[in-house]
């Protein structure tokens, strides 16, 4: 089984904000494959199971808030017997222009507190991450407001497209492997 984790913040006030790009990609995957998210009594996460390309896939949205995402990811992986090689984490990235994707098989959290939390919980950085470009703020010192804001009307189309492309990339990773997805989607 593959486990796809989208990082974000729970609650209506954070829906479709830049910081919730990971949640948006998981919602897209659930919609495409008939999945529904349910809250868990045992783990601080909403989960849904789907299948595509002959693989069973567990979709996970931690409800711990971004900076504590590892508190859901680590215990759920251990309980379900998910190996690091079967984990894909989808996350927003302010260092990428809106609309760009970057897929890596391992690496540093690059200053992203959600990834830092996941890595601390797993004791490793050897898992796949899909970074979804949401762009940098125009004004210095506006990072928090920027990532917690929704996309401007003139950004909405690019935001929707990158979410769909990220979902395409995750599907390709599951069905055809990491290298093919990196070759087709990094840029």
Domain ranges within the chain, ordered by starting residue: 2-185
Q: Return d(Cα 101, Cα 165) in angstroms, integer.
A: 8
Which residues are part of the catalytic machinery? 19
Residues 6+ apart with CB under 8 A from 125: 106, 107, 108, 109, 119
Q: Stretch 123-128: mean pLDDT, rounded?
A: 96
Residues 32-44 pLDDT 10s: 999 999 998 899 9
In this structure, are residues 27 and 48 in contact, taking their beta carbons and an 8 Å threshold?
Answer: no
pLDDT higher than threshold 90 for residue 131: yes
Residues 57-88 pLDDT 10s: 999 999 999 999 999 999 999 999 999 999 99
Integer distance in angstroms from the first to the last C-alpha of the chain?
A: 28
Predicted local distance difference test score (pLDDT) of residue 78: 96
Predicted local distance difference test score (pLDDT) of residue 110: 85
- 108: exposed, middle or buried (Cβ count in 10 Å: 0-12, 13-18, 19+): exposed
Most confident of 40-44, 110-114, 161-165: 161-165
CATH number for 2-185 (one of 1.10.600.10, 3.20.20.30, 3.40.50.1470, 3.20.20.140): it is 3.40.50.1470
pLDDT higher than threshold 90 for residue 141: no
> Percentage of the chain with pLDDT > 70?
99
Q: Stretch 145-152: mean pLDDT, rounded?
A: 94
Q: What is the SS3 assignment for 121? A: helix
In this structure, are residues 103 and 129 in contact, taking their beta carbons and an 8 Å threshold?
Answer: yes
Q: Which long-range contacts (CB under 8 A, 24 or more apart) does 119-122 make?
A: 119/70, 120/70, 121/70, 121/71, 121/73, 121/74, 121/75, 122/70, 122/73, 122/74, 122/77, 122/84
Q: Return d(Cα 14, Cα 130) in angstroms, integer.
A: 20
Predicted local distance difference test score (pLDDT) of residue 16: 95
Q: What is the SS3 assignment for 13? A: helix
Residues 166-181 pLDDT 10s: 999 999 999 999 999 9
Q: How confident is the model at residue 140 (pLDDT cuts 50, 70, 90)?
A: confident
Strands 45-52 and 55-62: antiparallel
pLDDT higher than threshold 80 for residue 105: yes
């Amino acid at each position: 089984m593959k486990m796809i984790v989208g990082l974000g913040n729970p609650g209506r006030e954070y829906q479709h904000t830049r910081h919730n790009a990971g949640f948006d990609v998981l919602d897209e995957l659930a919609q495409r494959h008939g999945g529904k998210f349910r809250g868990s009594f045992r783990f601080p996460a909403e989960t849904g199971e789907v299948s595509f390309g002959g693989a069973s896939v567990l979709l996970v949205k931690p409800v711990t808030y971004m900076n504590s995402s590892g508190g859901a990811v680590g215990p759920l992986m251990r309980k379900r017997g998910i190996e690091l090689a079967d984990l894909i984490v989808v996350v927003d990235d302010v260092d990428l222009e809106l609309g760009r994707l970057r897929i890596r098989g391992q690496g540093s959290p690059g200053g992203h507190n959600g990834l830092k939390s996941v890595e601390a919980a797993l004791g490793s950085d050897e898992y796949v991450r899909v970074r979804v470009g949401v762009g940098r703020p125009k004004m210095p010192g506006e990072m928090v407001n920027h990532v917690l804001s929704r996309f401007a009307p003139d950004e909405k189309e690019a935001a929707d497209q990158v979410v769909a492309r990220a979902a395409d990339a995750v599907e390709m990773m599951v069905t055809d492997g990491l290298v093919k997805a990196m070759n087709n989607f990094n840029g």
